[in-house]
A and B are shown apart, each in its own frame.
Chain A
Amino acid sequence: MTTVSKSVRNFIAPHLRDIPKSGIRDFFDIVAGRKDVISLGIGEPDFQTPWHIREKAIASIERGATRYTSNLGTPELRQALAEYMRQSFQADYDWRHEVLVTVGVSEALDVALRAVLSPGDEVLYHEPCFVAYAPLIRMVHGVPVAVDTFRKDDFRLTVAELEKKVTPRTRVLLLNFPNNPTGATLDRADTEALADFAIRHDLLVISDEVYSELTYEGGRHSMAAIPRLRDRLVFLNGFSKAWSMTGFRLGYVCAPAPLTDAMMKIHQYCMMCASSISQTAGLEALRQGDADIAEMRESYNQRRNFIVSSLNEMGLDCFMPRGAFYVFPSVQATGLSSYDFAMRLLNECSVACVPGTAFGSCGAGFLRCAYATGMDQLKEAMDRMTAFVAKLRG
């Protein structure tokens, strides 16, 4: 590696320099390159993208549909998305002005935050959470304000905790249910209470519901299904988790026209449009992909049942999450910290899980285990963990 003079770092914007590297990235560096590891650390479906979707993408390349599309996304895809919103959440969005197709939900979140935040504005978000939220808020000079969620509430976000952190500078409430990393979901009473909270404090709600198709018992309760929230809701969703399309990088935003227009300004200058090939694939997923979701959901459901029951049997307290493909067991009974437990599990048993602290300080004492992994791997991982926990408790 060439040596870099200290002054080079001075070129980096201070607010970016101060953002720590993701804890999950650190863990990735430790695991990377190790061959024998069973990884429960992967926040990505293990299923192949359904073949008919891949086939459509190939056909679109053959047809030569490889140009820029409308900045907002192709009309066909936006119409299909508006229809999906109606069917799924009884939410009406005008595909012409209120739907924006993005490069994954990550871009959607970025443009949403950039469109609404001024420097110093505070954003309430709940922890444990996806690793990108606080950094993305900081990158637009916003102030991330973490609100803890707890095992006793099955990691639901409560208004009582929100009230402790809301201030006159709070502009946005950022939500992610079903949740990565806990698998927590909201029920109808929760979404209603959160909506009331947002209205009471005049907040914009940005709701990242990328796991919404992966909801098990209890049904799914979207913020988009609450009509009185419509004028203050930015709804984010994507294709990665539902149809196992992570590499396609395809997401979307639904929001009232003026907000969509504002986000569109950013999107058109920095991204132009989402990949035309991915958009074709996404349209196929929406039109023909219901059975794919049903099949994958059932499979996740069975693995979830298996892993929760295995973890509880080995003595790691684990609530039954109702969404996503993560479980969030407590390792407190072993006397080890999240990080030490994860490191020793990796070194002594070659099983990789992510320490809960990578998702926020209130993840201390917990572990994220993704069950988006084949049953054979899951079984082996549970066998190894059972032996490991037994050894710890001696």
Chain B
Amino acid sequence: MDPLLDLLKKNAREPDAILAKELGVTEADIRARIAAYQNEGVIRGFQAVLNTDRLDSTDVRAVIELRIRPEREGGFDRIASRISKFPQVESMFLMSGGYDLLLFVKGKSLQELANFVSARLAPLDGVLSTATHFMLRTYKDQGVLMESEPHDDRLQVCP
């Protein structure tokens, strides 16, 4: 992978000037490469990674395993695309194994998510079954530990 993408994955807020120095190229080059990735649809967005447990929020998160019936034309894609457009769905993947779609969903309350599953997902044509698991606590998200390892406790000067 392009080291620029690695750096952006680590810290998308890194100024172009710093990225340019780290990679030994010009700032203009960095800007052009990022723009190209955006145009090609490789970079789909830049987001903060939050520890929601530390937010004063009552949002509820769950993962939902969905079994669906593939269609003769288009397989899983058409129904998957429909489901992915619900705003409650934060991430969604087609899976191998005992179910087909794995959804990461978010709602304002347990009730909202329950309604979403029973009123929106389950009745969809092609959905065979759902299994909903509520998340209790986040330990790691998108490669980021929610509790950092102990602070840098190295000696301040050493040989």
C-alpha gap A48/B156 in the complex (Å): 16
- State which of A84-92, A154-162, A299-307, A331-339 sits at the interface with chain B: A299-307
Closest to B152 in A: A46
CB distance B18 to A375 under 8 Å? yes
Digit string of A278-318 for contact with B (CB within 8 Å is 1, else 0)?
Answer: 00000000000000000000100011011001100000000
B14 / chain A contacts, CB cutoff of 8 Å = 375
Contact of A302 among B3, B156, B157 (CB under 8 A): B3
Q: Is A44 an interface residue (CB 8 A)?
A: yes
Looking at chain A's contact residues, the main secondary structure is mixed
Q: Is A388 an interface residue (CB 8 A)?
A: no
CB distance A42 to B154 under 8 Å? yes
B147: shortest Cβ distance to chain A, in Å?
A: 13
CB distance B23 to A42 under 8 Å? no
Interface centre among B11, B18, B158 (most CB of A within 10 A): B158
Q: Is A4 an interface residue (CB 8 A)?
A: no
User: How many B residues face the partner with a CB closer than 8 A?
Assistant: 18
Digit string of B147-159 for contact with A (CB within 8 Å is 1, else 0)?
Answer: 0010010111111
Closest to A40 in B: B157
Contact of B21 among A32, A44, A132, A310 (CB under 8 A): A310
Contact of A298 among B3, B155, B156 (CB under 8 A): B3
Q: Is B22 an interface residue (CB 8 A)?
A: yes
CB distance A305 to B154 under 8 Å? no
Q: Is B40 an interface residue (CB 8 A)?
A: no
Known contacts A28-B156, A48-B149, A132-B159, A375 near B23 by CB under 8 Å? no
Interface centre among B18, B22, B159 (most CB of A within 10 A): B159
Q: Is A197 an interface residue (CB 8 A)?
A: no
CB distance A24 to B158 under 8 Å? yes
CB distance A42 to B21 under 8 Å? no
B45 / chain A contacts, CB cutoff of 8 Å = none
B106: shortest Cβ distance to chain A, in Å?
A: 29
Contact of B155 among A28, A34, A131 (CB under 8 A): A28
CB distance B24 to A305 under 8 Å? yes
Digit string of B119-134 for contact with A (CB within 8 Å is 1, else 0)?
Answer: 0000000000000000
CB distance A43 to B156 under 8 Å? no
C-alpha gap A39/B24 in the complex (Å): 24
C-alpha gap A220/B152 in the complex (Å): 30
Q: Is A215 an interface residue (CB 8 A)?
A: no
C-alpha gap A28/B155 in the complex (Å): 8
Q: Is A183 an interface residue (CB 8 A)?
A: no
CB distance B23 to A302 under 8 Å? yes
CB distance A305 to B21 under 8 Å? yes
Q: Is B6 an interface residue (CB 8 A)?
A: yes
C-alpha gap A42/B155 in the complex (Å): 7
C-alpha gap A354/B21 in the complex (Å): 24
Among residues 1 to 47 in chain B, which have CB atoms less than 8 Å away from a CB atom of chain A? 3, 6-7, 11, 14, 18, 21-24
CB distance A32 to B154 under 8 Å? no
Contact of B154 among A46, A309, A375 (CB under 8 A): A46
CB distance B158 to A309 under 8 Å? no
Closest to B150 in A: A48
Known contacts A309-B21, A375-B11, A352 near B159 by CB under 8 Å? no
C-alpha gap A326/B24 in the complex (Å): 18
B-side residues, CB < 8 A to A, are: 3, 6-7, 11, 14, 18, 21-24, 149, 152, 154-159
9 closest A-B pairs (Cβ-Cβ)? A41-B157, A302-B22, A28-B157, A306-B21, A39-B156, A309-B21, A306-B22, A31-B156, A131-B159
23 A-B pairs within 8 Å (CB atoms) are namely A22-B159, A24-B159, A28-B155, A28-B156, A28-B157, A28-B158, A39-B157, A41-B158, A42-B154, A42-B158, A43-B158, A46-B154, A48-B149, A130-B159, A131-B159, A302-B22, A305-B21, A309-B21, A352-B157, A375-B14, A375-B18, A375-B22, A379-B18
**A-B contacts besides A46-B152, A302-B3, 17 pairs, CB < 8 Å:** A22-B159, A28-B156, A28-B157, A28-B158, A31-B157, A32-B156, A37-B156, A41-B156, A42-B154, A43-B158, A44-B155, A44-B158, A131-B159, A298-B6, A302-B7, A305-B22, A309-B24
A-side residues, CB < 8 A to B, are: 22, 24, 27-28, 31-32, 34, 37, 39, 41-44, 46, 48, 130-132, 180, 298, 302-303, 305-306, 309-310, 352, 354, 375, 379
